[in-house]
Amino acid sequence: MKATIRDVARLAGVSISTVSRVMNAPETVVASKRDRVLEAIRQLQYQPNAFARGLIYKKSFTLGLLIPDIENLYFAGVIRGMQDACIKLGYSLMICNTDRDKERLLSYIDTFHEKQVDGIVFASDKLYPEYYEKLVGCRIPIVMLSSHSDEYEIPSIEVDDEAAAYDAVKFLIELRHREIGMIGFGHSDSISGPPRYDGFVKAVTESGLGHNANRVKYANHRFEDGYQAAHELFTDHPGLTAVFCVADEFAMGTISYLKDRNVLVPGQVSVIGFDNLRMASMFIPKLTTIAQPIYQLGYRAAEKLHELLSTGSVEVLREKIPHKLIVRESSREK
């Protein structure tokens, strides 16, 4: 039979409250009693359960994660990073996939409240007022991941999307491309879509290539959407020699579209993506892309939420993590 805290107290000759203090605030217990309790724990191989810890701390030691699309490989990296941080920090992790459905997301907040999660990481979507009001009403602390809020003072962590897109397009321009198109995020609740478009426009305008600023088509996150957007882009602008895609899946869709029409990448058209998904180095041709530190974003989001829960505030409200240009086979000089 599994040992209980009563068994530990009986063997050590102390009260149950003393055992609890040894486990949770050992510095408050005199050394002789502390040593007896630790020896009893070792002999009985006692492990406190999560419910008992919750009663002691008035916490569930559980964090919630709201993501829009669990099939998206980007979020696989985020989940891995956040999970590893949770293990280190002593939390369990609950994941809910929203499919960008408002009613579903609101119902998940209710679920998290019922499960008494300590805090939530809100990933990659816009924080609408009804979400914020629900979270405030439930008194659930929140950190935003790959997103931010201009309206509310909420901790967030992300890359500088405008600067990253600018670097991607400047790289294409340095490769002597002058006819450049873009495939961007098209849904209304995109946080990263507008600044990535702004980075594209800034780069082409600064280089005297402002005629490219309207050579943009929009898609909704999936490979097949990128394929269709590439069809629309090259139908309208057949002379393009380079395409900046705001997601690696769009870049893969674009390359597949061009391959189906016997257009060589990078021989005739260079393509650059954004994210550096695990598949980016496996795709043919291997994908030139802007690398987001996806694992680190997830890890830091959990750490940031832990900081908020532990101290009531965070040292850096809106944290930016550096991006990096990864040059592979899908781009070349014109």
Q: What is the pLDDT of residues 142-190, one digit of tens each?
A: 999 999 998 999 999 999 999 999 999 999 999 999 999 999 997 677 8
| Dihedral sign from CA coordinates of 92, 96, 97, 99 | negative
Decide whether 5-57 matches 62-158+295-321 in CATH topology. no
What are the two backbone dihedrals, phi and then psi, of residue 215, each rounded to the nearest 5 degrees?
A: -90, 65
Q: What is the pLDDT of residues 233-262, one digit of tens each?
A: 999 999 999 999 999 999 999 999 999 999
CA distance 193 to 8: 57
Query: Domain spanning 5-57 has what CATH number?
Result: 1.10.260.40
Does domain 161-291 fall under CATH 3.40.50.2300? My reply is: yes
Q: What is the pLDDT of residues 184-231, one digit of tens each?
A: 997 677 889 999 999 999 999 999 999 999 999 999 888 999 999 999
Q: What is the pTM of this model?
A: 0.82
CA distance 102 to 23: 42
Predicted pLDDT of residue 48? 64
Q: What are the extents of the domains in the chain? A: 5-57, 62-158+295-321, 161-291
CATH class of the structural domain 62-158+295-321: alpha beta
Six-digit token string for 162: 């405008």
